[in-house]
Amino acid sequence: MARPINEINAGSMADIAFLLLIFFLVTTTMDIDTGITRKLPPPPPEEMPDIKVKERNIFKVLVNSRDRLMVEGKGGHISLLKEQAKAFLSNPNLLDSNSPEDMPEKRQVDIPLFGGDVWVTKGIISLKNDRGTSYDMYIQVQNELAAAVSELRDELSMNKFGMKFSKLSDDEKIKAIQKAIPMAISEAEPEDIGGH
Amino acid sequence: MAKFRKKGGKKTPGISTASLPDIIFMLLFFFMVTTTMREATVLVRISAPEATQVQKLEKKSLVSFIYIGPPLNTKLGTDSRIQLNDMFADVKDIREFVQLERESKDEADRPFLTTSLKVDKETRMGIVTDVKQELRQVGAFKINYSTKKKAIIQK
C-alpha cells in the first residue's frame, strides 16, 4: 500500500518571506553613525612638569559661556576661524628652516617621501571652553579647526601627489602628509573662564 | 491568413509567480544584512549638532555609546542627564560602564574600543567635560562626537 508522496505546497513560502521582510523593514535603522573622532590625552601625572611653549607657537581659541569666541586675544567669529587657523598653521616652504617673526617656529622632521629632512611647523592650537559653553558651539569650533587642518593637508597633497588627501590610498603617502601637517589641537584642562 | 488562425480566442497566459518567493527572499536578506538592532532605548532627547568634517564610525561592535541630553520625560526636569545602557547614570558610573564594556570584548579588540558621545546640542559643556575627564581617567581615549553631516554649500 504505497502512498504517493505529496509535494510540499510551497505556495505560502512567499507569505512567510513577506512576514519576515516586514519585520526587518520595521526594525531596521539605516542611519550610519558619523562624527568627529578625537583622541583624549592621558591624564596628567601628579607632578606636572611645566612645559613652556613659546607664545608665538600657540594659537589660542577661547569660548565663553555665551558662545562668544576669543581668538588670539581678540574677539573672533566662527566664520573667520578657519582662515585664521589656516594662516597660523600654514607652512609654505617645507625646506626653509626660518619662519617670519609672527609665525610659529619650525622643527626638523624626517619624511623620506619628501626627500629626507623637512621643516614642520611647531604651532599648536589651544582650545579652551567654559563649562557653560553650548555643545553645539563647541562642535562648530572643533569642526572649523579640523577643517583648517584638512584643507592644508589637501593643498599639500595636491601639490605633492596630485590628488586630495582623502583620496590617497598609499599608506606611506598618508603618513607623510600627516607628519608634514600634524593635527595639533590641544584642549586645556577644564576650568571656568568666566562670563556668566 | 485565416488558415492559420487557431480555434478559440487567445488566452493571455497568467504571470508566473513562482519566482516571487525568491525576489522576496532577496529583499529579506538585504534587510537582514543591513539591519542593526537598537541596543538601548534612548531616554534622553538628542538632536545632534551638524558638522562638515565627519568620519564614519567603523566597527559598530567596538563602539559603546554614552547619551547626554534632557530627559524625554519632562517630569524629570530639563537639565541634561547622562544615560548609560538603559538607565540614567551619574558621572561616577562611567568608570564601571567602561570597564564592563571592555571586559565584554575580545582582548585583541580592546585597544580599538571607541566611545561615542551622543550629546544634544543644547547641552552645556560642563557635563561633557566631566564625562571626558572621567574617560581619560579610565583610559578610554578614543572618542567620537556624534554629529550629523552638513551639506557643504558651494559659494
- Would you state the pLDDT for residue B27? 84
- Whether residue B139 lies inside any domain: the answer is yes
- B27 in any annotated domain: no
- Name residues of chain A where pLDDT drops below 50: 195-196
Residues B143/B116, Cβ–Cβ less than 8 Å: yes
Mean pLDDT of all residues belonging to chain B: 81
Domain A55-92+123-187 has what CATH class?
alpha beta
Give the structural domain span for B86: 50-148
Q: Which residues of A touch B (CB under 8 A)?
A: 10, 13-14, 17-18, 20-21, 24-25, 27-30, 32-43, 65, 129-136, 138-140, 142-143, 146-147, 150, 190
Q: Which amino acid is at A145?
A: L
Q: What is the mean pLDDT of residues B127-154?
A: 83
In a domain, B118, yes or no: yes
User: Is there a contact between B51 and B147 (Cβ–Cβ < 8 Å)?
Assistant: yes
pLDDT for res A196? 43
- The pLDDT score that the predictor gives to residue B18 is 76
Partner-chain residue, chosen from B24, B129, B145, that has the shortest CB–CB distance to A190 = B129
For the stretch B107-126, pLDDT in tens is 887 878 888 888 998 888 88
In a domain, B3, yes or no: no
Q: Domain-by-domain residue ranges, chain A?
A: 55-92+123-187
Predicted confidence at residue B47, as pLDDT, reads 85
Provide the domain count of chain B: 1
Going through B2-147 in order, the beta strands assigned E by DSSP cover 50-51, 55-56, 63-69, 81-84, 87-89, 114-119, 142-146
- Separation of alpha carbons B113 and B128, rounded Å: 19
CATH value at residue B106: 3.30.420.270
Residue B20 lies in a domain: no
**A28 within 8 A of B31, measured Cβ to Cβ:** yes
Q: Does residue A29 or residue B84 have the better pLDDT? A: B84
Interval B27-75: pLDDT, tens: 888 887 877 666 677 888 888 888 888 888 777 778 888 899 888 888 8
